[in-house]
Chains A and B, each alone.
Chain A
Amino acid sequence: MAAPPQFEHARYTQNRGAPIPAARQSMGRALIWFGSLGLLAMILLQILDATGTLPIGFENWRPTLYAYVAWAVALGTGQVLVRGEPGWRALFVLPAALFTIAVVVFPTLFGFYIASLDWNLSSLDGPKFFGFGNLVLLMQDPFYWNSLLNMVYYVALVLVEYAIAFGLALLLNADIKARKFFRVAFLLPFMLSPVAVSWMIGKSMLESRFGPVASFLRDIGVESPTFFSSPWVARLSIEVMDAWMTIPFMMILLLAGLQALPREVVEAAKVDGANAWQSFWKITFPLMLPVSVTAVLIRTIFKLKLADIVINVTSGGPGGATDTVSSFIFRVYRDRSNVGYGTALAVFYLIAIIIFLILMLRVANRLTRNVTDQ
């Protein structure tokens, strides 16, 4: 409900014109200090209790959560009391910021802490501080590096997916019959669950004995067709299933980009005598570069999370040929209850992804800047 006009006016006048009374500011500061001290004290008490230094008998960490909420309220109220109108404005952002800290920043930092532990759930001794020990183990773990190498292959194939998606987008952007039908039809694979695709295609259609694809290949003379037995064929089979599901997503992004292209530029090129090939490479492709970069970036992020199809269809085999980092971490966590090491693998992967994406963005920025400058 909107505040009464008189109230709004009075507050505006007060904060723009008259200074905020010192007593009110002091009260606000005191509130923030008390809230902060309360939060810190509660954290300290819980840590002392958890480590057994000062047994208090907390059953869980909820008191710290309550203290955090109380501190958030104190902080918000204090902002208003100390800063007046700017404090009110801060209230629009503060809850979201504090919520982000609670559910994103804190878990991430906590993840770094867990990654520094030697913590196997089956160990009688519980978690032990391990420092960079998990990092050392990671460096020596051939299964992890194998899965990282596989990720390089999978990510490299994003460019092939992009080319196919671009081709399909051009097709659907052209004046073809049943264009609307094809647009919907091509989107259908993107609507499917990866688990469903794993079973419907990977475990049924591509089944080597009775699957229809294998049967067809046998009918045309291929002996013992298999799709997951040799490393490269297995990798490609996984890639094809994953690409089939996600190419429509790239395609739709690119199609939206194509539809937003200024028609006069393309038509001017035609008037100047450019053929379709020249028109594509000199006009369409460069103009589409910003959209293309976005599509490839988002697809790369999707690809780096590839796990479900691999887990369901090959379990990473044969011999680790299709393993991804996520499917390997899944095994370390679910099957081996190795919480510390599994978290360390995930944290290392997160850092590697961030670095990789930053580099990608720089290259992309350079590419798009060149286009814009031209």
Chain B
Amino acid sequence: MKRELYNKMMAMQASRRSVLKGAAGASVAALGASTALGAFTAPAFAASDLRAEMLKVPGVGVGSPTDADWRKVGELALGPTKDRVSEGEFAGVELTFMGLNNQNLHNFLFRGFLKPWEAYTGAKINWIDLAQSDYNARLQQSIATGTVDFDIIEMGAPFEGDVAGKGLASEMPDWVREQIDMDDYVDYLKAPVGTWAGKTYRVSIDGDCHNFNYRTDYFTDEDLAAAWTDEGNDGPWEVPTTWQKVQAVTKFLKGKKIGGQDANGYLDPLKGWGGFGFYFLGSRATAYAKHPDDPNWLFDADTMKPRVNNPAWVRAIQDVLDTIDSQPPDQINADPGTTGFQQFLAGTGSMLSWWGDIGSNAKTSDSSVVGDVVGFDILPGSDDVYNASTGNWDTLASGPNHAPNMAYIGWGVYVMARVDGDSLKHKAAWSAAAHLGGKDISLWASAYPSGFQPYRNSHFNIPEWVGAGYDEAFITNYLASQANSYNHPNAAIEPRIPGIFQYYSVAEDELAKIYAGQFDAQTGADNIAAAWEKITDQIGRDNQIALYKASLGL
């Protein structure tokens, strides 16, 4: 679990009043969420003794876990390792693990989790700790200069193209697949994610996606409802579920007041964020661009021709342009961090696409004023979707097209191919990775501060969370927005090709010019496409096509 979410739980449970207010505020979201989560909660299986015992370390509400707790969890989770590895089997084996040190989590937990594993197996692990900002450069330089000096790496799926695509990763043995129970993964983390050309490389330890955060007080405000009807808008005043309605609501709210303050609709981050800002245009575009019959939505897999200038993406860009004047002043200088933490959480704006951090900060952040009035859902859909093969806009019989944006896909543990030549080292490295990505240990990591989100179907078993001491109303509501995105049949999966952030970074520069009024949407999108073509040519078009197809499992 992200540290903020854990803190939020603790804060809520410290105040019954907060729980009640939060539950009331989240009720709208819970209505939509309960259906999908029912799939997980209905069987309501009794938590195993081991899992229940693990979740009591150190105990919800008794303070943040320490290294001693991480070691204890690691000890409790050793069962699957003991089934496959005899005591002392890896004596003399040394492994190097490269990962992050964000918020004193990630590698810090891994150290504790793996201590009992080291003691049992006899292997020794050396650690390379990196700040998030140094990660990409360190990884790319290691690859480019042929100085890969680590055996196991904690890595985001978008980098798979750079590592697995270049043959630097070790293929997962079948016994690991069995040990970690990969069938338990949420749908979008199953193949082809984590696989290349049919081979599996990734032990998932996290999940990521953008969801839709909204203000419940806006959509229960009687004055706004009356004004909405008076102005002749279609349909009732309600939380938008399509981008068409998001646009209408955002334009409608311009000049309106709520609680005496200026009302604002959807918030677009219009300033770049080291490539990460492009995810936010992606969240607007997926409903238009990701057709249920086509796994591609950003490039054509056969040619690597960018789709970013097709009518779907241009429509998404135009949507942004159409609402810039309805957004807060100085929005042109708002990056995603600003929209999330300085605007939405601080009370500006009523709708926002973001990762789960917004929900987890809503009540615990000192600057948040929306904790009691925030709701969650999957990203809005669209009444029609662009069909890239026919060039037409299709209206689906099933209703609006939803395509949740699986932005960044989450962290995983990968073993490097350099261990393949040494069978003992190979087994040791994979055993360590499997230990970290085990089914039980991952539940603990989801429930306590770890830096990781739930990513297995078994993580959404609400009775286990409640049994551990969590408030049922909030955890149900919050997890539903994640689960419904993860398991959506038309989820838009990010292309896992080398240099994907180069594409995003260039796009941010061009989008900045569009938003500043220097180009219209189509011209600007054409510029992005042209810049992307150059990147593809520089990195190597044939390789990119092959790797993109491999990432799609084609």
Q: Taking beta carbons and an 8 Å cutoff, which residues of A are in contact with B? A: 118-126, 143, 207-210, 224, 226-229, 231, 234, 314-321, 331, 334-339
In the complex formed, the residue of B with least CB distance to A224 is B329
A336: contacting residue among B343, B498, B506, CB under 8 A? B506
Evaluate whether A122 and B539 lie within 8 angstroms (CB atoms) in the complex, with A315-B272, A320-B513 already known: yes
Would A319 and B539 be within 8 Å (CB), given that A226-B333, A334-B137, A334-B274 are in contact?
no
Can you name 10 A-B residue pairings with CB atoms under 8 Å? A121-B144, A122-B140, A124-B543, A208-B330, A231-B516, A315-B273, A317-B272, A318-B271, A320-B512, A338-B502
Q: Cβ of A319: which chain B residues have Cβ within 8 Å of it?
A: 512-513, 515-518
Contacts of B328 in A (CB 8 A): 208-209
Q: Given the interface contacts A224-B329, A318-B333, does A331 sit within 8 Å of B515 by beta carbon?
A: no
Q: How many angstroms from the CA of A317 to the CA of B328 in the assembled complex?
A: 17
Q: Are A122 and B512 in contact (CB under 8 A)?
A: no
B257 at the binding interface (Cβ < 8 Å) = no
A226 touching B274 by the CB < 8 A rule?
no
- B21 at interface, CB cutoff 8 A: no
Residue of B nearest to A319 (CB): B516
Taken together as a complex, chains A and B put the C-alpha atoms of A236 and B471 apart, in Å, by 51
Pairs A-B, 4 closest by C-beta atoms: A319-B516, A122-B499, A335-B505, A208-B330
Instruction: Say which size band chain B's interface belongs to.
Output: 35 or more
Q: Which of A121, A226, A315, A316 interacts with B329 by CB under 8 Å?
A: A226
* Interface assignment of B162: CB less than 8 Å from any CB of chain A: yes
Taking a contact as CB atoms under 8 Å apart, the answer to whether A122 and B162 are in contact is: yes
Quick check: B144 and A228 within 8 Å, CB to CB? no
Residue pair A317, B333 in contact (C-beta under 8 Å): yes
A143 vs B498: C-alpha distance when bound (angstroms): 24
Contact indicator B540/A317 (Cβ below 8 Å): no
Q: Are B346 and A318 in contact (CB under 8 A)?
A: no
Given A122-B502, A317-B516, A319-B517, A228:B137 Cβ within 8 A: no
Least distance between B517 CB and chain A CB atoms (Å): 7
Per the 8 Å Cβ criterion, residues 66-93 of B in contact with A are none
Instruction: Evaluate whether A125 and B332 lie within 8 angstroms (CB atoms) in the complex, with A318-B512, A319-B516, A335-B274 already known.
Output: no
B140 and A121: CB pair below 8 A?
Answer: yes
Query: Contacts A226-B333, A318-B332 known; A118 to B538 CB distance under 8 Å?
Result: yes
List chain B positions with a Cβ less than 8 A from chain A. 136-137, 140-141, 143-144, 161-162, 165-166, 271-275, 328-330, 332-333, 335, 342-343, 346, 348, 498-499, 501-502, 504-506, 508-509, 512-513, 515-518, 535, 538-540, 543
Q: How far is the CA of A366 from the CA of B271 in the complex (A)?
A: 46
Q: Inside 8 A of A209's CB, which chain B residues have their CB?
A: 328-330, 342-343, 346, 348
| Measured CA separation A276–B499 after assembly (Å) | 64
B515 touches A121 (CB 8 A): no
Residue of A nearest to B276 (CB): A335
Residue of A224, A226, A317 contacting most chain B CB atoms (<10 Å): A317
Nearest A-chain residue to B542, judged by Cβ: A124
Q: A118-B538, A123-B540, A319-B516 are in contact. Are A335 and B333 (CB under 8 A)?
A: no
- Given A319-B515, A331-B505, the answer on whether A229 and B540 have CB atoms closer than 8 Å is no
- Of A207, A318, A334, A337, which is within 8 A of B499 by CB? A337
Q: Using CB atoms, name the residue of chain A closest to B141.
A: A121
Q: Give min CB distance, A210 to chain B, whole Å.
A: 7
A316 CB contacts on chain B under 8 angstroms: 272, 509, 512
State A255–B333 Cα separation when bound (angstroms): 38
With CB as the reference atom, state the residue of chain B lying closest to A146. Answer: B513
Closest B residue to A143 using CB positions: B509
A120, B272: Cα distance in complex, Å:
21
CB distance from A288 to the nearest CB of B (A): 40
Question: Contact between B329 and A124 (Cβ–Cβ < 8 Å)?
Answer: no
A318 and B539 in contact, given A124-B498, A228-B330, A334-B137 (Cβ under 8 angstroms): no
Q: A123-B538, A143-B509 are in contact. Are A337 and B333 (CB under 8 A)?
A: no
A227's nearest neighbour on chain B, judged by CB, is B330
Contacts of B333 in A (CB 8 A): 208, 226, 228-229, 234, 314, 317-318
A122 CB contacts on chain B under 8 angstroms = 140, 161-162, 498-499, 502, 539
Known: A208-B330, A337-B144, A338-B502. 18 other contacts (CB 8 A): A121-B141, A121-B499, A122-B539, A123-B498, A143-B509, A209-B342, A226-B329, A228-B332, A229-B330, A317-B272, A317-B332, A320-B513, A321-B516, A335-B502, A335-B504, A336-B499, A336-B535, A338-B538
B515 touches A318 (CB 8 A): yes
Complex-state Cα separation, A118 to B535, whole angstroms = 11
- The residue that A120 contacts in the complex, of B137, B499, B504, with Cβ under 8 A, is B499
Q: Which B residues touch A143, using CB under 8 A?
A: 509
Find chain A residues with CB under 8 A from B143 CB: 121
User: Which residue in A210, A331, A336, A338 is a CB contact (below 8 Å) of B346?
Assistant: A210
Other-chain contact of A226, B136, B141, B330, B498 (Cβ < 8 Å): B330
Q: Across the two chains, which residue of chain B brings its CB closest to A336? A: B502
B contact residues around A228 at 8 Å (CB): 330, 332-333
**Is A124's CB under 8 angstroms from B144's CB?**
no
How many Å lie between the Cα of A319 and that of B162 in the bound state?
Answer: 30
A86 → chain B closest CB, angstroms: 43
Give which listed residue, B140, B161, B513, contacts A337 with CB less than 8 A. B140
Nearest B-chain residue to A208, judged by Cβ: B330
Chain A residue numbers with a CB within 8 Å of B342 are: 207, 209
Question: Is B137 a contact partner of A124 (Cβ separation < 8 A)?
Answer: no
| Minimum distance in angstroms from A128 CB to a CB of chain B | 9
User: Is the beta-carbon distance between B271 and A120 smaller than 8 angstroms?
Assistant: no
Partner of B505, one of A123, A318, A336: A336
Expressed in whole angstroms, the Cα–Cα distance for A120 and B503 within the complex equals 12
Output the nearest chain A residue to B517 by Cβ-Cβ distance: A319
| Docked-complex contact B329 and A331, CB < 8 angstroms | no
Q: Which residues of A contact B140 (CB under 8 A)?
A: 121-122, 337
User: Do A320 and B329 have beta carbons less than 8 Å apart?
Assistant: no
In the complex, what's the smallest C-beta–C-beta distance from B365 to chain A, in angstroms? 15
Q: How far is the CA of A98 from the CA of B201 in the complex (A)?
A: 48
> Which B residue's beta carbon lies closest to that of A207?
B342
Residues of A within 8 A of B273 (CB): 315
Q: How far is the CB of A43 from chain B (nearest CB, A)?
A: 19
Residues of A within 8 A of B141 (CB): 121
B348 cross-chain contacts in A, Cβ below 8 A: 209
Assess the B509–A331 pair: CB atoms within 8 A.
yes
Nearest CB in chain B: distance from A150 CB, A: 14
Beta-carbon nearest neighbor of B527 in chain A:
A142
Closest-by-CB residue of A relative to B518 is A319
Instruction: Specify which chain A residues have a CB less than 8 angstroms from the CB of B515 in the assembled complex.
Output: 318-319
Given A123-B538, A319-B515, CB of A229 within 8 Å of CB of B498 = no
Give chain A residues whose Cβ lies under 8 Å from the Cβ of B136: 334, 337
Contacts of A337 in B (CB 8 A): 136-137, 140, 144, 499, 502
Which residues of chain A are near B166, meaning CB under 8 Å?
124
Whether the Cβ atoms of A229 and B509 lie closer than 8 Å is no
Q: Is the CB of B518 within 8 A of A124?
A: no
Give the CA-CA distance A334 to B139 in the complex, in Å. 12
Complex CA distance for A319 and B518, rounded to whole angstroms: 7
Alpha-carbon separation in the docked complex, A122 to B538 (Å): 9
Chain B residue contacts of A320, Cβ below 8 A: 509, 512-513, 516
Q: Which residues of A contact B513 (CB under 8 A)?
A: 319-320
Q: Which residues on B sit within 8 Å (CB–CB) of A234?
A: 333
